[in-house]
């Protein structure tokens, strides 16, 4: 099967997708209520989109195409309000966070669509274990070649987004010690990890044809890479973020990525190389395990530094671009969060204060629903 | 607790002389005790043992829900079957049975989130409408079939409620997770409380029907207000007390004991002060949940001791079943059951979409609301012969009501299974094997 051509889109436009938890308001376990909520929202008044996800305790929301921070944040607020109103009407809680703190994966039910049943049959129990919740950010690029260049240039910044968004310290009722345990679930999939190092759309097309001829993949959707091109949208899609506990954080993360992309595209501070990936998995692990306190290795200089320090330096480098994109407020929010701690730290602090896990999930839900 | 006095056993009749008795040395004669003369405490304990085993066997062999099996065993032990136990025997057990009921009602209260009624006004309207439609349909059907008007109204009030006992026990077995299960609990609580209040006001309605209201009317209204406000305040106090006690004890393991103590205290005080144990315990459960949040862990049936109480309760329901005079009143029974089904269905379906319910879910909810019981009257009565305590109730209508309640209690687990699992699809497959 040949690769579809890359749709041209306006550079640096962005869209945000959030996978959300549907919760029972009594015990705050996951509740299989996606169909009820989707029915209640089928005539919503926004340009945004809401759709089912792999299990019936999840939904995915997506914004319309945005260019700046303020409209993106406003749309996310509007979406959050309407979703919360629909959820309250049905006695459902909605929450962010990369994992649910104590759900049992075996109790999850696959959402009844052809695609999800196919995934369930192919991956077996992994499909139910995929009840994890991520934020995906799309950034518009004008061509396939641009997409691949940007995708690989961004690879060294992937730990930034993992650590900043990390909100999944608890899995199946246990503190994993990780800040983002969600990505461990994603890693179990055979086509996860990073994209192959090719820099032109033609080369990528050849790779795609080889893969489809093996029967391992049927479409681009079968790749669970950390960053992947999305030819039908004309975007690259960053998939490493946990769903944050608030929509404000989600908007800020998207705008930090937007300004970083502008910096990379306009200043071309380095050319991506295959060797960038020598330290990729190590850095990724450090971000997942230790969050902002993780120690990463620069693939070029081989120097070690704290992830928090690297983000501070990067924020300084992209500040001018953030100003031009009117997303300085978002980047300031990112800088503040470096000292306040990420959502995983917030959840852990609650737990250490003696809150039982259901109370933790309830508090996270209250933050998301802006109660 | 001393069992009720039993008539003395008659001396066994002398054995007829046979060839065998002439050959064998004379031994004291042995005779099986007559079932009717067994100590009721011993009898009920034996029936409990049999009920658990027999219900499991019936579940395995006939796929009958265990709850229905236990009630069947109770019915078998009652005068309907072997006559091992009489309804009057249960009076001695009433405090324990009340505790079992109270534990279930408290748990029901702790599962409710009253805020939902504010967030979804259509749901609040639907809760009232389904009870109202059921009452109107039942009352109308009975009057159309020639039942006395006031008795038909009384039967309609009782029939408007759904049995919290069967619903809670069924929910424990089926473990539904979804809209239908949650709405079922809410509607069951609301229609039971409304039926209870209406029954408290029944003497007033009866007097109005006979055109004899006078100075007594005010006192009946005052009495109803006293019951409502008093039960509410006692429930609030009960929930608050549980919260304080739990903070002081700080032991998670002591929570079921504290809950049982609270439930007994609240139910006893409500009964002795002439309040409604039903409303008191519902409010106590809601208050405790609101104050304690996730610190309140209500085990199903309040733990394993409570589970034994529930078995006892289900058997007692079976013993209390009445099918006397069914040959005479069967048209009224059919009309009552049919009209109730249609009335509840209409009430649910009319506001299904505005309240956020799908058509299939509405059908499931209608079926799940069918278990009917006499709890609303049971908890305002002093003993199990509550029927005699309602003045001016036509005996035939009463009998039709009792038969309908028996029928809808016995078949209750089947209605729940159909509504929650088969139609609404809210139960996991393992729950089917457990139920």
| pLDDT tens by residue, B151-182 | 898 889 889 999 998 999 999 889 999 999 99
For residue A157, tell me if it sits in a domain.
yes
* Distance, CA of B334 to CA of A213 (rounded, Å): 67
For residue A1, tell me if it sits in a domain.
no
* Distance, CA of A125 to CA of A132 (rounded, Å): 13
Chain A's closest residue to B297, CA to CA, is A27
**Are B368 and B416 spatial neighbours (Cβ–Cβ below 8 Å)?**
yes
Strands A227-230 and A92-95, sheet pairing: unpaired
pLDDT confidence of B36, banded at 50, 70, 90? low
Which of the listed ranges A46-60, B16-30, B331-345 does the model predict with the highest average pLDDT? B331-345
pLDDT confidence of B110, banded at 50, 70, 90? very high
Q: Which residues of A touch B184 (CB under 8 A)?
A: none
Give B169: exposed, middle or buried? Use CB within 10 Å, 0-12, 13-18, 19+: buried
* Distance, CA of A250 to CA of A73 (rounded, Å): 8
Tokens of B167: 């619903």
* Distance, CA of A79 to CA of A73 (rounded, Å): 10
Q: What is the pLDDT of residue B319?
A: 85
Report the mean per-residue pLDDT for chain A.
93
Q: Residue range A98-125: average pLDDT?
A: 84
First to last CA, chain B: 32
| CATH number, domain with residue A310 | 3.30.590.20
What residue spans define the domains of chain B? 40-434
Radius of gyration of chain A (CA): 19
| pLDDT tens by residue, B283-317 | 999 999 999 988 888 766 556 666 788 888 888 88
Tokens of B212: 């004899």
**CB contact residues (below 8 A), chain A span 47-86, against chain B:** 86
| pLDDT tens by residue, A190-212 | 888 999 999 999 999 999 999 99
Q: Is B294 on the interface with A (CB under 8 A)?
A: yes
pLDDT confidence of A124, banded at 50, 70, 90? confident
| pLDDT tens by residue, B189-240 | 999 888 888 877 777 777 776 666 666 777 777 888 888 899 999 999 999 9
Q: Is B121 on the interface with A (CB under 8 A)?
A: no
For residue A5, tell me if it sits in a domain.
no
For residue A281, tell me if it sits in a domain.
yes
This prediction's pTM: 0.86
Q: Kindly state the percentage of chain A with pLDDT values over 70.
A: 100
Between the CA of residue B433 and those of A171, B60, B190, B310, what are the distances in Å?
Answer: 29, 9, 30, 19
For residue A111, tell me if it sits in a domain.
yes
Structural domain total, chain A: 1
- Tokens 């461990």, located at residue: A184
Helices (H), B63-178: 66-77, 94-111, 115-119, 121-144, 149-159, 164-174
Determine which of A52-61, B41-50, B102-111, B300-309 has the lowest per-residue pLDDT on average: B300-309
Q: Is A356 on the interface with B (CB under 8 A)?
A: yes
Q: Residue range A8-25: average pLDDT?
A: 96
CATH topology of domain B40-434: Na+/H+ antiporter like fold (1.20.1530)
B29: pLDDT strictly greater than 60? no
Q: What are phi and psi of A175, to 5 degrees?
A: -80, 115
Q: Is B111 on the interface with A (CB under 8 A)?
A: yes
Radius of gyration of chain B (CA): 23
For residue A2, tell me if it sits in a domain.
no
A362: pLDDT strictly greater than 70? yes
Residue B294 to residue A39, Cβ atoms within 8 A = no
**Are A14 and A53 spatial neighbours (Cβ–Cβ below 8 Å)?**
no
Q: Which residues, 6+ apart, have CB-to-CB distance to B122 below 8 Å? A: B351, B354, B355, B356
Q: Is B113 on the interface with A (CB under 8 A)?
A: yes
Q: What is the pLDDT of residue B225?
A: 86
Q: Which residues, 6+ apart, have CB-to-CB distance to A90 below 8 Å? A: A33, A36, A37, A40, B120, B179, B356
**Are B404 and B371 spatial neighbours (Cβ–Cβ below 8 Å)?**
no
pLDDT confidence of A332, banded at 50, 70, 90? very high
pLDDT confidence of A319, banded at 50, 70, 90? very high
* Distance, CA of B294 to CA of B186 (rounded, Å): 20
Residue B294 to residue A31, Cβ atoms within 8 A = no
B382: pLDDT strictly greater than 50? no
**Are B366 and B338 spatial neighbours (Cβ–Cβ below 8 Å)?**
no
User: A180 forms bridges with which residues in the sheet?
Assistant: A168
Q: What is the pLDDT of residue A351?
A: 96
Give the per-residue SS3 of chain A: CCCCCCCCCCCCCEEEEEEEEEEECCCCCECCCHHHHHHHCCCCCCCCEEEECCECCEEEEECCCECCHHHHHHHHHHHHHHHHHHHHHCCEEEECCCCCCCCCHHHCCECCCHHHHHHHHHHCHHHHHCCCCEEEEEEECCCHHHHHHHHHHHHHHHHHHHHHHCCECEECCEECCCCECHHHHHHCCCCEECCCCCCCHHHHHHHHHHHHHHCCCCCHHHCEECEEEECCCCEEEEEEEECCCCHHHHHHHHHHHHHHHHHHHHHCCCCCCHHHHHCHHHHHHHHHHHHHHCEEECCCCCCEEEHHHHHHHHHHHHHHHHHHCCCHHHHHHHHHHHHHCCHHHHHHHHHHCCCCHHHHHHHHHHHHCCC
B388: helix, coil or strand?
A: helix
Q: Residue range B73-89: average pLDDT?
A: 84
Q: Which residues, 6+ apart, have CB-to-CB distance to B237 below 8 Å? A: none
User: A229 forms bridges with which residues in the sheet?
Assistant: A236
CA distance B122 to chain A (A): 9
CB atoms within 10 A of CB A238: 25
Q: Which of A90, A107, A369 to mutate to test the interface with B (most CBs of B within 10 A)?
A: A90
How many contacts does A have with B, using Cβ atoms within 8 A?
47
Q: Which of B165, B204, B208 is nearest to B188 (CA)?
A: B165
Among candidates B111, B120, B294 on the partner chain, residue whose Cβ is nearest the Cβ of A356:
B294
**Are B99 and B267 spatial neighbours (Cβ–Cβ below 8 Å)?**
yes
Which of the listed ranges A19-23, B200-204, B323-327 does the model predict with the highest average pLDDT? A19-23
b/e sequence B362-398, b meaning 16+ C-beta within 10 Å: bbbbbbbbbbbbbbbbbbbbeebebbeebeebbebbb
pLDDT confidence of B23, banded at 50, 70, 90? very low
Q: Is B358 on the interface with A (CB under 8 A)?
A: yes
The domain of A313 spans: 14-368
Q: What is the pLDDT of residue B218?
A: 77
Q: Is B179 on the interface with A (CB under 8 A)?
A: yes
User: A66 forms bridges with which residues in the sheet?
Assistant: A14
Q: Which of B112, B123, B177, B295 to mutate to test the interface with A (most CBs of A within 10 A)?
A: B177
Residue B178 to residue A31, Cβ atoms within 8 A = yes
Among candidates A24, A36, A359 on the partner chain, residue whose Cβ is nearest the Cβ of B293:
A359
Q: Is B250 on the interface with A (CB under 8 A)?
A: no
Q: What is the pLDDT of residue B378?
A: 53
């Amino acid at each position: 099967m040949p690769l579809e051509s890359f749709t041209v889109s306006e550079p640096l436009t962005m869209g945000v997708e959030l996978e959300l938890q549907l919760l029972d308001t009594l015990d705050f376990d996951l509740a299989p209520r996606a169909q009820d909520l989707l029915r209640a929202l089928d005539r919503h008044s926004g340009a945004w989109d809401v759709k089912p996800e792999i299990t019936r305790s999840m939904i995915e929301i997506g914004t319309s195409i945005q260019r700046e921070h303020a409209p993106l944040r406003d749309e996310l607020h509007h979406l959050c309000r309407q979703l919360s109103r629909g959820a309250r009407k049905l006695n459902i809680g909605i929450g962010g966070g990369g994992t649910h703190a104590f759900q049992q994966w075996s109790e999850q039910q696959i959402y009844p669509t052809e695609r999800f049943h196919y995934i369930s049959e192919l991956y077996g129990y992994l499909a139910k274990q995929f009840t994890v919740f991520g934020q995906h950010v799309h950034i518009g690029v004008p061509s396939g070649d641009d997409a691949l260049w940007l995708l690989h240039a961004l690879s060294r910044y992937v730990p930034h987004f993992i650590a900043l968004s990390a909100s999944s310290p608890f899995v199946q009722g246990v503190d994993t010690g990780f800040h983002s345990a969600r990505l461990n679930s994603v890693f179990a999939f055979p086509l996860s990890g990073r994209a192959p190092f090719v820099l032109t759309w033609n080369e990528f097309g050849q790779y795609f044809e080889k893969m489809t001829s093996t029967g391992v993949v049927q479409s681009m959707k079968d790749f669970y890479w950390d960053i992947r091109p999305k030819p039908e949208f004309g975007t690259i899609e960053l998939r490493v973020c946990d769903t944050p506990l608030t929509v404000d954080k989600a908007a800020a993360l998207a705008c930090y990525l937007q300004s970083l992309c502008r910096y990379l595209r306009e200043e071309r501070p380095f050319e991506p190389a295959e060797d960038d990936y020598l330290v990729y998995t190590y850095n990724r692990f450090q971000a997942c395990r230790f969050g902002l306190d993780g120690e990463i290795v620069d693939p070029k200089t081989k120097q070690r530094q704290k992830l928090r320090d690297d983000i501070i330096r990067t924020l300084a480098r992209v500040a001018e671009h953030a100003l031009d994109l009117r997303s300085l407020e978002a980047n300031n929010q990112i800088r503040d969060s470096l000292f306040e701690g990420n959502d995983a730290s917030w959840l852990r602090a609650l737990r250490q204060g003696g809150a039982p896990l259901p109370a933790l999930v309830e508090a996270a839900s209250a933050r998301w629903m802006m109660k | 607790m001393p069992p009720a006095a039993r008539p003395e056993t008659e001396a066994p009749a002398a054995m007829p002389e046979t060839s065998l008795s002439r050959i064998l040395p004379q031994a004291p004669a042995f005779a099986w005790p007559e079932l009717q003369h067994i100590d009721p405490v011993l009898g009920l304990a034996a029936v409990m043992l049999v009920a658990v085993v027999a219900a499991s066997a019936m579940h395995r062999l006939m796929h009958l829900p265990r709850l229905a099996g236990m009630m069947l065993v109770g019915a078998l032990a009652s005068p309907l079957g072997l006559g091992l136990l009489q309804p009057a025997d249960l009076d001695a057990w009433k405090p324990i049975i009340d505790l079992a009921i109270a534990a279930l009602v408290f748990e029901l209260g702790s599962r409710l989130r009253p805020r939902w009624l504010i967030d979804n006004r259509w749901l609040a309207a639907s809760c009232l409408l389904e009870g109202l439609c059921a009452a109107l349909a039942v009352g109308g059907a009975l009057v159309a079939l020639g039942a006395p008007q006031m008795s038909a109204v009384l039967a309609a009030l009782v029939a408007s409620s759904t049995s919290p006992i069967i619903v809670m026990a069924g929910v424990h077995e089926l473990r539904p997770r979804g809209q239908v299960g949650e709405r079922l609990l809410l509607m069951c609580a609301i229609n039971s409380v409304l039926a209870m209040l209406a029954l408290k006001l029944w003497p007033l309605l009866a007097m109005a029907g006979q055109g004899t209201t006078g100075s007594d009317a005010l006192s009946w209204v005052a009495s109803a207000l006293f019951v409502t406000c008093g039960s509410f305040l006692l429930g609030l106090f009960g929930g608050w007390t549980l919260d304080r006690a739990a903070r002081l004890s700080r032991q998670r393991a002591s929570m079921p004991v504290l809950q049982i103590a609270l439930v007994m205290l609240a139910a006893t005080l409500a009964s002795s002060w002439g309040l409604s144990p039903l409303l008191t315990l519902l409010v106590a459960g809601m208050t405790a949940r609101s104050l304690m949040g996730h610190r309140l862990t209500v085990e199903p049936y309040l733990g394993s001791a409570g589970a034994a109480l529930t078995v006892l309760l289900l058997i007692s329901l079976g013993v209390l079943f009445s099918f006397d005079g069914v040959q005479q009143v069967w048209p009224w029974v059919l009309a009552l059951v049919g009209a109730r089904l249609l009335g509840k269905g209409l009430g649910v379906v009319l506001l299904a979409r505005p309240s956020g319910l799908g058509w299939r879910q509405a059908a499931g909810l209608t079926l799940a609301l069918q278990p009917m019981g006499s709890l609303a009257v049971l908890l305002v009565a002093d003993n199990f012969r509550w029927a005699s305590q309602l003045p001016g109730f036509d005996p035939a209508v009463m009998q039709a009501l009792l038969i309908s309640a028996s029928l809808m209690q016995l078949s209750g687990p089947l209605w729940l299974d159909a509504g929650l699992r088969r139609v609404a699809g809210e139960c996991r497959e393992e729950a089917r094997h457990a139920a």
